Amino acid sequence: MKERVILHSDVNNFFASVEVVSRPELASLPVAVTGNPEKRNGIILAKNEIAKKAGVKTGQVIGEAKALCPNLVCLPPHYSLYEEISQRLHNIYLEYTNFVEPLGLDECFLDVTDSIKYLNKSGVEIADEIRERVKKKFGFTVSVGVSFSKIFAKLGSDLRKPDYTTVIERKDLKDKIYPLPLGSIVGIGRRLEGKFHAISVDTIGDFVALDDSFLENKMGVNGTRLKEDLLGVRIEPVCDYFSLPPPKSIGNGTTTLKDIEKRKDVEKVIYFLAEKVSYRMIKHKVLAGTLSITIKTKDLKTYHISRKVNPTNSVDGIAKGCLALADKIWKYNYPIRAIRIKGSNFTSSLSRQLSFFDNEKPDFSETLNIINDKYGKIILASDMANFINRNSHPQE
């Protein structure tokens, strides 16, 4: 069977890179995209290389980041602009193959196996060409991994940043890849990495040496599948871009570098996540009939709850629904390390029917998305959207 040639293209510091390119006067300054730049207790969502070298980290509170980097420029996120740039990147990738599978806004897998012959270029040459084209067209850089499978192409793009092409061949696995830390692999988060570290499984090689039955006990079927991926015996295909299935759920989560405990801080994180989830739901023209929230504590214990709700895709509806769920499972009496929210059980927003008896406030999330998409950088802040929603109904 012919070995696949799979690329993983990852924009370096995507949100921050787009902001700096949009405002060239910031090119020599440390820049961060934050949840609420007006307040020092917002969260760092992304940072450029200059800020990174100054010690600024994703998930940090703005006040802590500014203590490390006093001249840090904090900007609000412009999601519609990021999505527009993401689509333009996809159009470049589609010139090489129709097997393009997005992974978020800033990452894509490309299977160029069948493209190599008619392009008369190797996978590495295609990767280098993509890097140069992106740099010339957009002014920012991508790192590209080239390998025979998705998991190792992804690892390759992560190993050297920014602006590198990294090749991982099958012959490299034993000597170059298996000695790497287990947490280098997508699918192994900090919680799992901690569990495996407790039993002296610290590298990728340690993991693939484990017995299948032990892995199933630890991770279920995902454990043995991940082992097959890392052994190179299971090659997951890259999806055809034009046949991508609609999402069954849309969610977003964040891990804060500083544990949070107060309800007002949890509410801020939930509203930040709801803004991103709402944007994607509106793009897919869906309403969530079920909301869920997962809270992970300082000692890595996980609490989860889901509930059916009146279908919604608004920032306010999602945030309030998830905060109400958080109140059901959490007493705000112990530090929280991570929060994730999700919408599922989708119905089409095109066929929504409102009841006479619903005392529902008008919501402008979708209108704001349309304005942002149409006029590019004209961005209305979510705080203003929430203000409009609170004040646009008759006083009782």
Phi, psi dihedral angles at 2 (to 5 degrees): -65, 135
How far apart (Å, rounded) are the C-alpha atoms in residues 6 and 100? 10
Residue (of 255, 201, 200, 239) closest to 101 by Cα position: 239
Query: Tokens for 315?
Result: 């920032």
Q: Determine whether 129 is exposed, middle or buried from the number of CB atoms within 10 Å of its CB (0-12, 13-18, 19+).
A: middle
How far apart (Å, rounded) are the C-alpha atoms in residues 380 and 78? 9
* Cα 365 to chain centroid, rounded: 21
**Residues 369/317, Cβ–Cβ less than 8 Å:** no
Catalytic residue among 95, 107, 125, 193: 107
**Residues 62/42, Cβ–Cβ less than 8 Å:** yes
**Residues 82/18, Cβ–Cβ less than 8 Å:** yes
How far apart (Å, rounded) are the C-alpha atoms in residues 46 and 160? 18
Helix (H) or strand (E) holding 147: strand 142-147
How far apart (Å, rounded) are the C-alpha atoms in residues 30 and 254? 22
Strands of the sheet with 107-111, listed across from one edge: 100-102, 107-111, 6-11, 142-147, 165-167
Residue recorded with tokens 């590019």: 376
Query: Tokens for 10?
Result: 């990852």
Residue type, 379: I
Could you confirm whether 19 is annotated as catalytic? no
- Residues recognised as catalytic: 107
